[in-house]
Structure 1
Amino acid sequence: MPSRELPPPPPPAHLREWLDETVVRADRARFLADLSRRSLGLGRLALLWTVAAVFAFGWTFVGMAVMSFESGDAFGSLFGVLYAVIGLGVLIPAGFWFAWGARQERRVRRLLCAWVEAGRDPATDARLRAPARSLVWLTASLALGAVGLWVAFAAAAGARPGQDTYGEVAYFMGFGMILWITALLGLAKAGAHYRWAIRAFRGGPAASGPGGRRLVSETP
């Protein structure tokens, strides 16, 4: 997520009655555009893949640790401990980073819903559907998932006793699973945005509020 602060929530309905409708509409359009980019922008997709790359980097050290332990000698065990410590030192911060991003994502979604309920502007709302960005998330995630499944299953099916070690097979299967799980998260994101847009902007005129302002008649 971008480091700058998130947009503020919309003012309460009883205060919006006393505000300039043009200003409220302009704020709504600007904040919704910002929140939409944060939620489904290409930067968000790149961030998801970056977190996955960090997990894969940490998993590489874990795989090297397992392969070092399999050597059976003291020198290999020493390197195995070193690799395991490095791997955990990468994976644990990556897990906290992922959890922080998930919390930010929930905050963005709540603000999106709140600002959508603050009024209705067909021109702005049409852009929030973001079909092109949803398609990018969908196709990129499908491609990544296919690669992940191929890596995982190829590692298991192509293993040869006496040639491939358990550590090598576990590493490649784990690497493929990281790609596959990342792809599932991307697919879930695209699907959730599509369902949200359908609920938030489905047909039916918005109710008119005080001063002629059009308000959303249902909660997305």
Structure 2
Amino acid sequence: MSTRTLPPPPPPAEVRCWPDREALLADRAKAMAELHRLSIGVPRLLLLWLLACGLAVGWGLVGAALKTFEESRPDALSALFGVIFACTAAGFLIPTGIVMGLGVRRDKTVRERLTQWSSLDRDPTNDARFRSPGVSLCWFVPSFLLCTLGLWLSFATPATAERGQETYADVTMLMGLGLILWLTGLLGIAKAVSHFRWAVRLVTAVPVSAGDGGHR
């Protein structure tokens, strides 16, 4: 998740040394293509879902541990299994949460650099390929559905739980799963909306450096 693999930001205005506008546009297009792929490519969406699955598995193990402690307090062997479930859950939740947090920070860096490169100049003919409306929909629609399902689980589970049928462990597990789905969907929606807003600016914005020393 290191930023070392990302294209660097454009050089400061005072040290830019492109020989002509064509060279600037070529470097701009190359950097934007790589940053666009790293930002909203389908593999990034699949990675987000994979991490969400890891969180869901970990939280399911937390629910199993809670249920074990809740149903078998006198049984030392069952309690031992509960501890094992809890440790295994931590093995899923902690690394997955760290990777997801690093991914969010990396996405922020990618978005900042993409904005910096795109603001250097305008190239409408070549920039049209970066709009990617189909990929944006692939991010938005499933993410919206995940948000809806997550909110429903989070609110409907405690509202419909009946004493004697659902245990506290069951309710906690389903509410936690709903929260994971909601957060995953929210990240996907934020990515799709952010890309849409950037694509609109890419088409309508006036370049900040095309006429005032963007290349020398």
TM-score in terms of structure 2 length: 0.85
Alpha-carbon contact 1:38-1:108 (below 8 Å) kept: yes
Q: 1:97 Cα deviation (Å)?
A: 0.6
Alpha carbons of structure 1 residues 65 and 132: separation in structure 2 relative to 1, 3 Å? same
- Equivalent residue in structure 1 for 2:118, among 96, 116, 119: 116
Report the 3-state secondary structure (helix = DSSP H, G, I; strand = E; otherwise coil) of the residue aligned with 2:111.
Answer: helix
| Identical positions, percent | 46
Report the 3-state secondary structure (helix = DSSP H, G, I; strand = E; otherwise coil) of the residue aligned with 1:9.
Answer: coil
Task: State the alpha-carbon separation in 2 of the partners of residues 203 and 94 from structure 1.
Answer: 38
Runs of at least 5 residues in structure 2 that lack an aligned partner in the other structure: none
Runs of at least 5 residues in structure 1 that lack an aligned partner in the other structure: 215-220
- Equivalent residue in structure 2 for 1:177, among 176, 179, 188: 179
For 1:208, the aligned partner's letter is G
Alpha carbons of structure 1 residues 205 and 99: separation in structure 2 relative to 1, 3 Å? closer
- Report the number of matched residues: 212
Alpha-carbon contact 1:40-1:134 (below 8 Å) kept: yes
Deviations for 1:29-59, whole angstroms, at most 9, x for unmatched residues?
1210111111111111111111111111110
Alpha carbons of structure 1 residues 200 and 150: separation in structure 2 relative to 1, 3 Å? same
In the TM superposition, what are the counterparts of 1:1-220 in structure 2 within 5 Å? Answer: 5-71=5-71, 72-73=73-74, 74-204=76-206, 207-209=210-212
Task: State the alpha-carbon separation in 2 of the partners of residues 43 and 3 from structure 1.
Answer: 17
TM-score in terms of structure 1 length: 0.84
> Which structure exhibits the higher relative contact order, with contacts defined as CA atoms closer than 8 Å and separated by 6 or more residues?
2
Alpha carbons of structure 1 residues 92 and 133: separation in structure 2 relative to 1, 3 Å? same
Report the 3-state secondary structure (helix = DSSP H, G, I; strand = E; otherwise coil) of the residue aligned with 1:168.
Answer: helix
RMSD: 2.5
Task: State the alpha-carbon separation in 2 of the partners of residues 59 and 191 from structure 1.
Answer: 29
Task: State the alpha-carbon separation in 2 of the partners of residues 33 and 84 from structure 1.
Answer: 43
Alpha-carbon contact 2:121-2:207 (below 8 Å) kept: no
Report the 3-state secondary structure (helix = DSSP H, G, I; strand = E; otherwise coil) of the residue aligned with 1:208.
Answer: coil
